[in-house]
C-alpha cells in the first residue's frame, strides 16, 4: 500500500511540474524561445509571494491576487524590453541572454534575501488528507495542485484555440513573417505570451513555496523539471506536458520509495529513458 500511496502522491505532484512546464512550453511554442531563466523566474515569483504575505498580511494563496498581475506585467516588459531583441535565426543570443538573466536574478535574490531557506506557511491544509481506505489517503494539497494544473491547461487550450489572441499565438508559431503580413503585431504577441507564461508560473511558484523550502539557488532544478516534463510529453502539446509532469512525479516517488537518496536521480533517469526510447516524447505535436 505504501507503493500505491507513493505513486498516487507522485502523480498529483506531477501537476506542479506541469505548471512549471506550461510557461516554458508556451514561450517555445509561440516564438521558439527557450528561456533558461525560467526556473529563476519561478523563484522570483515565490519571493514576491513571500514579500506580499509579509507586508500585506495576506495568506499564501490569496497573495496570488498580487503576484499573478505583477509577474504578468514583468513578463510583458521583459519580453518587450529585452527578449524580443534576441529573436532571429541565430540560436546563441536567446540562449545566452536568458542564461545571463538567470545568473542576474539568482544573485539579485541572494543580495536581497540572503541564502537562508524560506517557506510559505499554509497551516494544517498542508497535511490534511482524504482517507480513501485505512491505508490509502490523498493529500488535499497535492490534489489541489493537480486540479489547478488541469484547470490551467484547460484555460490555456481554450485561450489558444478559441480566442483572437490564441489565433495570433498559433499564427506566429506557424510562420512569424506571414503572420505579420496579415497584421499580427508579432512583438506585442510575443510579449503577451511571456506575460501569460509568467502569470502561470506564479501559481506554480506559490505551490512550490508552500510545499518545500526554497532559496535563491532553487531555480535551476525547477528549470530542469519543467524542461524534462516538456520533453517527456512531447513538444507543443500541453496535455502531453501534463503527462510528462506525471511521469516525472511518479518516477521521483518510486525512486524516493526505493531509497531517499534516489528521488532526483529517478526523475532524471526517467527523462533520459524517454529520450532514448522516444526522442520526440510521448505525444509530440511540434517539430523543433
Cell numbers at residue 5, please? 500511496
* 269 binds other proteins per the rule CB under 8 A: yes
* 82 binds other proteins per the rule CB under 8 A: yes
Residue 153 beta carbon to other proteins: minimum distance, rounded to whole angstroms: 21
* 111 binds other proteins per the rule CB under 8 A: yes
Residue 209 beta carbon to other proteins: minimum distance, rounded to whole angstroms: 21
Of the pair 61, 113, the CB lying nearest other proteins is at 113
Cell numbers at residue 46, please? 515565490
Partners of 53 in the beta sheet?
none
Q: What are the Cα distances from residue 282, in Å, to 19, 209, 235, 266?
A: 18, 29, 9, 18
* 286 binds other proteins per the rule CB under 8 A: no
Among 2, 57, 92, 116, binds other proteins (CB under 8 A): 92
Q: Which long-range contacts (CB under 8 A, 24 or more apart) does 51-55 make?
A: 53/120
Span near other proteins by CB under 8 A; candidates 47-55, 99-107, 147-155, 244-252:
99-107
Among 7, 166, 262, 284, binds other proteins (CB under 8 A): 262
* 261 binds other proteins per the rule CB under 8 A: yes
Residue 244 beta carbon to other proteins: minimum distance, rounded to whole angstroms: 13
Of the pair 120, 254, the CB lying nearest other proteins is at 254
What sign results for the dihedral spanned by CA atoms 67, 245, 174, 81? positive
Of the pair 72, 271, the CB lying nearest other proteins is at 271
| Residues in region 125-164 near other proteins by CB under 8 A | none
- Asked if 136 and 5 touch (Cβ cutoff 8 Å), the reply is yes
Span near other proteins by CB under 8 A; candidates 8-16, 101-109, 143-151, 192-200:
101-109
Of the pair 183, 260, the CB lying nearest other proteins is at 260
Who contacts 227 (Cβ-Cβ below 8 Å, separation ≥6)? 21, 24
Residues in the chain: 288
* 116 binds other proteins per the rule CB under 8 A: no
Span near other proteins by CB under 8 A; candidates 13-21, 124-132, 183-191, 258-266:
258-266
* 258 binds other proteins per the rule CB under 8 A: no
Kindly state the helix (H) or strand (E) to which residue 131 belongs, with its residue range.
Answer: strand 129-131
Compute the distance between CA of residue 283 and CA of residue 286 in angstroms, rounded to an integer: 10
Q: Which long-range contacts (CB under 8 A, 24 or more apart) does 186-189 make?
A: 187/80, 187/84, 188/80, 189/30, 189/165
Structure-derived torsion over alpha carbons of residues 275, 228, 30, 188, reported in degrees to the nearest 10: -160
| Residues in region 164-223 near other proteins by CB under 8 A | 220, 223
Residue 111 beta carbon to other proteins: minimum distance, rounded to whole angstroms: 4
3-state DSSP assignment of residue 130: strand
| Nearest-5° Cα angle at 123, 155 to 42 | 45
In the complex, which residues of this chain contact other proteins (CB under 8 A)? 34, 36, 82, 85-86, 90-97, 99-104, 106-108, 110-111, 220, 223-224, 227-228, 231, 261-262, 264-265, 268-269, 271-272, 275-276, 279, 288
Amino acid at each position: 500500500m505504501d507503493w500505491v500511496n507513493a505513486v498516487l502522491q507522485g502523480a498529483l505532484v506531477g501537476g506542479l511540474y506541469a505548471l512549471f512546464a506550461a510557461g516554458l512550453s508556451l514561450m517555445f511554442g509561440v516564438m521558439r524561445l527557450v528561456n533558461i531563466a525560467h526556473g529563476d523566474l519561478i523563484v522570483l515569483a515565490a519571493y514576491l509571494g513571500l514579500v506580499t504575505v509579509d507586508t500585506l498580511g495576506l495568506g499564501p494563496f490569496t497573495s496570488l491576487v498580487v503576484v499573478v498581475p505583477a509577474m504578468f506585467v514583468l513578463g510583458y516588459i521583459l519580453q518587450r524590453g529585452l527578449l524580443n531583441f534576441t529573436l532571429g535565426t541565430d540560436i546563441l543570443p536567446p540562449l545566452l541572454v536568458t542564461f545571463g538573466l538567470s545568473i542576474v536574478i539568482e544573485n539579485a535574490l541572494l543580495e536581497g534575501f540572503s541564502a537562508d531557506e524560506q517557506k510559505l506557511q499554509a497551516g494544517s491544509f498542508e497535511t490534511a488528507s482524504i482517507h480513501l481506505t485505512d491505508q490509502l489517503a490523498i493529500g488535499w494539497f497535492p490534489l489541489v495542485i493537480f486540479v489547478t494544473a488541469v484547470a490551467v491547461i484547460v484555460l490555456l487550450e481554450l485561450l489558444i484555440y478559441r480566442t483572437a489572441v490564441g489565433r495570433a499565438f498559433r499564427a506566429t508559431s506557424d510562420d512569424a513573417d506571414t503572420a505579420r503580413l496579415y497584421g499580427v503585431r508579432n512583438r506585442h504577441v510575443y510579449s503577451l505570451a511571456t506575460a501569460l507564461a509568467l502569470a502561470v508560473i506564479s501559481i506554480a511558484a506559490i505551490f512550490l513555496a508552500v510545499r518545500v523550502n526554497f532559496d535563491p539557488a532553487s531555480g535551476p532544478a525547477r528549470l530542469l523539471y519543467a524542461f524534462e516534463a516538456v520533453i517527456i510529453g512531447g513538444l507543443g502539446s500541453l496535455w502531453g506536458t501534463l503527462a510528462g509532469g506525471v511521469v516525472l512525479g511518479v518516477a521521483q516517488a518510486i525512486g524516493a520509495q526505493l531509497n531517499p537518496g534516489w528521488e532526483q536521480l529517478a526523475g532524471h533517469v526517467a527523462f533520459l529513458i524517454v529520450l532514448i526510447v522516444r526522442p520526440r516524447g510521448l505525444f509530440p505535436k511540434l517539430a523543433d
